[in-house]
């Protein structure tokens, strides 16, 4: 190995570490509201009977911010570079999380979580895009897997901090971690593919390109739909554990914070196994199918656990989390489906549109609950989402080992791609 090869290898390892730590902080700040919801609401004067609906309002505000931020950061990533997103997004959500520790009303809570959501939207997409474009096509699955596995432990730290300190301090810690990470990012470098694309005569960061081609639009839509079940599990089935536990006649009040903690432990383990399974089978599609079947089974076991205990809940959260551990695989699929000139836009918007999909999912879920009760509705919604995800997976082409050195070009239909040399 030459000195240059050794230096490149060290740079790549450093890049993966920084991307993983960024996702770690991102996940911490993303789930902290679900963990401290009840205590923070109690302290700002929310009545017990309003806890669930107000919680949905604040969470949906955060998800709305993720939707908007996904578009903004994705376009910035393709027009000005992936590194710009890594710096700008973490600065915004770190400031927002500091402010979150100072809220005193539901309206202010929702507004600050909206701002935090905008910032949180850029982290994963930019990191995965940068890693995917830097590591060889044979090994990039390992890189994105490590980003997700390390990152998901941010939820465990969030739950631990919230358990031992006040909810205000939990938000302050999240903001502080973000500012510390900014210092690490000073040594990161831009993607070679992006640098090459800057000199090509094609549109970059043009989200309209996703809608000017029917084939491209549906491919984009399918990428979003294959990830929807995961955020339904985290955002509703685990976050509303106290209410679902009551309907299941739980022996004690189920803790959403504890549920989030162990669900993310499970997701981290699942992401590791899913990444290895994809590398072994050389198929990301097969991996997604296997994990969707597991997720459906785990949710049905959870929703039929009458008289569930706190210990049973922990094991079920681990099971549900593991079965939903396809996040890195899902985001990698999205990244591999599109050309360099809109790859950051896609890779940033897709996971955030999945998170944002929680808004219509919540709306539909509430309509079902009003007519059929919370348990039956929870089952029905999970079945619907998994069926849609399976259909969407089957509509996408296998992307494992795909060359990424090409660009989308509306002038070259129907293939819509132009090769570039990197």
CATH of the domain at 32: 1.20.1250.20
Residue 197 lies in a domain: no
Task: With CA atoms as reference, report the closest residue to 375 among 196, 229, 240.
Answer: 240
- Rounded to whole angstroms, the Cα distance separating 102 from 323 reads 36
Residue 275 lies in a domain: yes
Which residues of the chain fall below pLDDT 70?
A: 1-8, 187-203, 205, 410-422
- Rounded to whole angstroms, the Cα distance separating 18 from 3 reads 22
| SS3 label, residue 166 | coil
**What pLDDT is recorded for position 6?**
55
Residue 253 lies in a domain: yes
Q: Are 141 and 275 in contact (CB under 8 A)?
A: yes
**DSSP labels, 82-115:** HHHHHHHHHHHHHHHHHHHTT--SHHHHHHHHHH
Residue 196 lies in a domain: no
**What pLDDT is recorded for position 189?**
63
Residue 390 lies in a domain: yes
Considering its fold, how many domains does the chain have in total? 1
Domain that holds residue 24: 9-188+203-419
Residue 3 lies in a domain: no
Listed in sequence order, the DSSP H helices in 101-226 are 106-120, 123-134, 140-152, 154-164, 167-184, 192-197, 209-212, 214-225
**What pLDDT is recorded for position 221?**
95
The residues near 37 (Cβ < 8 Å, ≥ 6 apart) are: 51, 55, 58, 239, 256
Residue 2 lies in a domain: no
- Rounded to whole angstroms, the Cα distance separating 51 from 162 reads 18
**What pLDDT is recorded for position 193?**
65
Global pTM exceeds 0.85: no
Report the run of H or E that residue 406 belongs to, with start and end: strand 406-408
- Rounded to whole angstroms, the Cα distance separating 23 from 1 reads 31
Task: With CA atoms as reference, report the closest residue to 223 among 357, 120, 351, 37.
Answer: 351
Residue 195 lies in a domain: no
**What pLDDT is recorded for position 87?**
85
């Amino acid at each position: 190995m030459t000195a240059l090869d050794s230096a490149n290898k060290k740079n790549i390892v450093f890049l993966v570490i920084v991307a993983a730590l960024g996702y770690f902080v991102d996940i911490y700040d993303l789930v902290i509201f679900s963990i401290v919801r009840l205590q923070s609401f109690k302290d700002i004067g929310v009545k017990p009977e309003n806890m669930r609906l107000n919680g949905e309002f604040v969470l949906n505000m955060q998800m709305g911010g993720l939707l908007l931020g996904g578009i903004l950061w994705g376009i910035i990533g393709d027009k000005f570079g992936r590194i710009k997103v890594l710096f700008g997004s973490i600065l915004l959500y770190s400031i927002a999380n500091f402010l979150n520790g100072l809220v005193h009303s539901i309206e202010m809570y929702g507004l600050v979580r909206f701002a935090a959501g905008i910032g949180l939207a850029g982290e994963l997409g930019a990191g995965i895009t940068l890693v995917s474009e830097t590591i060889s096509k044979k090994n990039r699955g390992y890189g994105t897997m490590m980003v997700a596995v390390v990152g998901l432990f941010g939820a465990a730290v969030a739950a631990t901090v919230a358990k031992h300190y006040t909810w205000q301090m939990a938000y302050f810690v999240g903001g502080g971690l973000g500012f510390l990470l900014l210092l690490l990012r000073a040594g990161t470098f831009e993607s070679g593919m992006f640098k090459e694309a800057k000199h090509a005569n094609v549109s970059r960061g043009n989200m309209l390109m996703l809608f000017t081609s029917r084939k491209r639009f549906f491919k984009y839509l399918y990428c979003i739909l294959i990830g929807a079940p995961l955020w339904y599990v985290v955002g509703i089935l685990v976050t509303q554990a106290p209410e679902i536990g009551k309907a299941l006649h739980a022996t004690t009040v189920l803790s959403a914070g504890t549920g989030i903690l162990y669900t993310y432990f499970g997701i981290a383990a699942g992401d590791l196994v899913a990444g290895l399974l994809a590398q072994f089978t050389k198929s990301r599609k097969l991996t997604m199918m296997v994990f969707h079947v597991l997720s459906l089974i785990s949710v049905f076991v959870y929703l039929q656990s009458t008289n569930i205990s706190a210990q049973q809940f922990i094991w079920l959260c681990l099971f549900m989390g593991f079965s939903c551990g396809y996040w890195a695989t899902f985001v990698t699929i999205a990244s591999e489906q599109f050309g360099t000139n809109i790859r950051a836009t896609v890779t940033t918007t897709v996971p955030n549109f999945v998170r944002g999909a929680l808004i219509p999912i919540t709306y539909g879920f509430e309509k079902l609950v009003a007519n059929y009760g919370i348990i039956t509705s929870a089952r029905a919604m999970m079945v619907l989402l998994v069926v849609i995800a399976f259909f969407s997976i089957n509509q996408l082409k296998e992307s494992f080992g795909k060359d990424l050195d090409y660009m989308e070009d509306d002038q070259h239909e129907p293939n819509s791609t132009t090769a570039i040399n990197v």
